[in-house]
């Protein structure tokens, strides 16, 4: 079903002229949050060599991240609704860069690894995608799907560049210096851009701080959190996001070690892993354009089920070298688009009135996948010596995710209808 914007809405071109710097700065902020998971695979071998930790133990840092995040992410969303995205983002990015760099101080005690992950989890709550997508969704109506897609290119940039950069830093200067450069360098760059350009539309600043004004953008319609999670469409989106996220994060974190088992060197594996980020950009942009034009579940269904093909290629293609980058490209395209779709579909099917709180709950679910996926992948490798069963499990998981979001229906119009159930 075609979705046409309201005649009163600004054109997509007008929205971009007014808000492109906002999107640029938000991209930088989003990218920092992806660096830890995108680079963990590169740090596994050096950490194993120095401290003797298993891959399951190393991956358990992300599991702790998930456990701690689960009850707390909704509070981060509530902070955005109350204080505004700018204040939350600046504090979160500054602290996250500092804490991530402190991994350089690790000693042989595994407790220190978990302690730093715990601290990073707390401060990174303020850098979640919901912080930045809240501002983007207020700024864009006609071109919201494409704008969120461009925002999330920040994650693809990290997925593409962070493994290559980490490999170079580790090989040239050691893993400790690599952590410092990633935390302070990447984090510092994002902080400067946010300080200069990240101002949330629909809010004004006065001596009392950031408060909502009376514009339409500041008081959008939508469901309450309670209504959203009784809503069939939102429940189906959550199921699909969980299935896709668990597999995608597990494979992404272990992608470099997985690729080395196909016969690639670490340098070749890091370069091939960069394809994931490149095609993630393509997936976000193409899918963002499509969902701005078409409501319903066909685009989400195809996108959420697509990773099944990527897992099948990687599982069966180890004896055919040219198939390996093809499989990585398919996973990059679909996994990037799926995360974008989860954000976008939440804004459409739940509205923006309580987006911070609602997407905070969705983000808690995604935090579970961020910890569960790498732990499962690490355990499978430690038990079997390969990732074959991980790739096999991804095939039915992808198909079920696609079925969950098939035929969601037209987007609700919260500007003209009563939002109550």
pLDDT tens digits along 298-307? 888 999 999 9
Pairing of strands 209-212, 203-206: antiparallel
pLDDT of residue 348: 84
In this structure, how many other beta carbons lie within 10 angstroms of the beta carbon of residue 408?
23
* pTM of the full structure: 0.68
Cβ contact 169:43 at 8 Å: no
Rounded CA separation 90/191 (Å): 6
**Nearest-10 crossing angle of helices 323-350, 298-305:** 140
Three-state secondary structure call for residue 9: coil
Rounded CA separation 194/192 (Å): 5
pLDDT tens digits along 128-173? 888 898 888 888 877 888 888 888 888 878 877 898 899 999 999 9
Stronger pLDDT, 57 or 75, i.e. the higher one: 57
Phi, psi of 212 (to 5 degrees): -70, 145
pLDDT tens digits along 367-405? 778 778 888 888 898 898 888 899 999 999 999 999 999
Domain spans, the chain: 14-202+218-404
Nearest C-alpha neighbor of 310 from the set 284, 267, 280: 280
Query: What average pLDDT is seen over the chain?
Result: 84
Say which CATH architecture domain 14-202+218-404 belongs to: Up-down Bundle (1.20)
Indicate the burial class of 8 (C-beta count within 10 angstroms; 0-12, 13-18, 19 or more): exposed
Return the exposure string of 88-108: e unless at least 16 CB atoms fall within 10 Å of the residue's CB, then b: bbbbbbbbbbbbbbbbbebee
Rounded CA separation 88/127 (Å): 8
The band of 17, judged by pLDDT with boundaries at 50, 70 and 90, is confident
- Distances 416 to 182, 220, 290, 412 between C-alpha atoms, Å: 47, 11, 24, 9
Three-state secondary structure call for residue 26: helix
Rounded CA separation 64/365 (Å): 14
End-to-end CA gap in the chain: 23
Stronger pLDDT, 255 or 296, i.e. the higher one: 255
H or E stretch covering 203: strand 203-206
Rounded CA separation 414/351 (Å): 7
pLDDT of residue 9: 64
**Encoded tokens for 119:** 């601290």
In this structure, how many other beta carbons lie within 10 angstroms of the beta carbon of residue 349?
22
Mean pLDDT of 27-46: 90
Rounded CA separation 32/345 (Å): 23
Mean pLDDT of 118-130: 91
Point out which residues pair with 212 in neighbouring strands. 203
Mean pLDDT of 58-63: 85
Residue with tokens 């509070």, as numbered in its chain: 75
Stronger pLDDT, 296 or 163, i.e. the higher one: 163
H or E stretch covering 304: helix 298-305
pLDDT of residue 198: 93
**Nearest-10 crossing angle of helices 85-101, 55-83:** 160
pLDDT of residue 216: 39
Cβ contact 308:338 at 8 Å: no
Lowest mean pLDDT among 241-245, 342-346, 351-355: 351-355
């Amino acid at each position: 079903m075609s979705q046409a914007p309201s005649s009163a809405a600004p054109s997509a071109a007008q929205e971009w002229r007014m808000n492109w710097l906002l999107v640029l700065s938000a991209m930088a902020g989003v990218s920092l949050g992806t660096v830890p998971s995108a680079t963990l695979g590169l740090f596994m071998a050096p950490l194993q060599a120095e401290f003797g930790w298993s891959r399951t133990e190393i991956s358990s840092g992300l599991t702790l991240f998930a456990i701690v995040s689960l009850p707390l992410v909704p509070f981060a969303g509530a902070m955005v609704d109350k204080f505004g995205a700018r204040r939350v983002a600046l504090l979160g990015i500054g602290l996250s860069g500092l804490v991530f760099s402190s991994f350089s101080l690790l000693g042989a005690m595994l407790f220190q690894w978990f302690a730093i992950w715990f601290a990073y989890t707390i401060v990174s709550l303020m850098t979640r995608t919901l912080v930045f997508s809240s501002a983007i969704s207020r700024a864009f109506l006609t071109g919201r799907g494409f704008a969120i897609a461009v925002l999330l290119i920040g994650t693809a940039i990290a997925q593409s560049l962070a493994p290559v950069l980490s490999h170079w830093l580790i090989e040239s200067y050691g893993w400790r210096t690599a952590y410092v450069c990633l935390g302070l360098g990447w984090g510092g760059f994002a902080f400067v851009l946010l300080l200069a350009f990240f101002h949330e539309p629909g809010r004004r600043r006065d001596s009392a701080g950031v408060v909502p004004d009376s514009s339409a953008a500041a008081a959008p319609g939508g469901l309450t959190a309670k209504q959203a999670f009784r809503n069939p469409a939102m429940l189906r989106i959550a199921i699909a996001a969980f299935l896709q996220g668990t597999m995608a994060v597990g494979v992404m974190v272990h992608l470099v070690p997985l690729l080395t088992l196909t016969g690639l060197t670490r340098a070749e594996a890091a370069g091939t892993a960069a394809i994931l980020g490149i095609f993630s950009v393509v997936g976000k942009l193409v899918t963002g354009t499509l969902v701005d034009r078409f409501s319903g579940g066909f685009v989400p269904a195809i996108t959420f089920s697509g990773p099944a093909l990527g897992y099948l290629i990687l599982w069966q293609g180890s004896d055919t070298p040219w198939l390996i980058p093809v499989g990585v490209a398919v996973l990059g395209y679909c996994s990037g688009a799926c995360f974008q779709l989860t954000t976008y579909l939440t804004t459409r099917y739940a509205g923006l009135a309580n987006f911070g709180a609602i997407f905070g709950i969705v983000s808690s679910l995604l935090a579970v996948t961020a910890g569960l996926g790498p732990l499962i992948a690490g355990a499978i490798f430690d038990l079997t010596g390969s990732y074959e069963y991980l790739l096999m499990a991804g095939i039915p998981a992808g198909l079920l995710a696609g079925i969950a979001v098939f035929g969601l229906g037209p987007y609700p119009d919260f500007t003209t209808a009563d939002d109550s159930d």
